[in-house]
Amino acid sequence: MDPDIQEADGSDARFGFVFEGLSKEEFERKFPNAEMDSNDWGEVSGGWQTKDTVRVCEYFNVVDKSDTLVAGPDGQSFLLSSIPDPAEREAIKADPEIVSRPVQKRTVKWYMIAGEKVIETKEWLGKYVPIVRVVGSEVEIEGETIRTSHTRGMKDAQRMYNYWNSSSAEFVALQGKQPYIAPAQAIAGYQDYWTI
């Protein structure tokens, strides 16, 4: 994900990657129409590809497109790019009663990358990079961001729980299985307790 994000949920990210490593057979099963011939299978720097595996990556990239926001005399507003006829667009620009201003329209491009090749691309529906950050705790200490999961603080308690359960099982396992026996004089008057 974009390392320059400022929002906690990462909604201001300008790009993001989702990686997956696949075997050659799995890749050919998932992407039968990908144009990768036998010469494409070989060592690629950075571990993106070997003769038997390929790294597949979804890449999302935010692209800002310039547009014009138009407000008509009736108060309705629309984007100039939504008018398909170029002559009509020019007429709207020339009309003195229409107020307009330039705007940036945020769009997201999606790419499917396999090894060194882009095998598919399209415009993503939506204006945000569709990767949701799930961060437990995030603290900045002397300029360094420290991230911890929700479960990190529970690890020691779980280790102690596991330790004491193991100790309990060990204690019971090491006990003798023979019944307790004692001479009759030793338990005289305590028979009720002894039979419990």
Residues in CB range of 57: below 8 A, 6 or more apart: 17, 18, 19, 20, 112, 113, 114
Rounded to two decimals, the pTM is 0.59
pLDDT in tens, 55-99: 889 999 999 989 888 887 777 888 888 888 888 888 888 888 788
Q: Which two tokens stand for residue 104?
A: 């940036």
Q: Which comes out higher in pLDDT, residue 179 or 153? A: 153
Question: Percent of the chain having pLDDT more than 90?
Answer: 23
34-38, 131-135, 164-168, 179-183: least confident range: 34-38
| Phi, psi at 8, each rounded to 5° | -65, -35
Q: What does the pLDDT average to over 97-115?
A: 88
Residue 192 CA, distance from chain mean position = 65
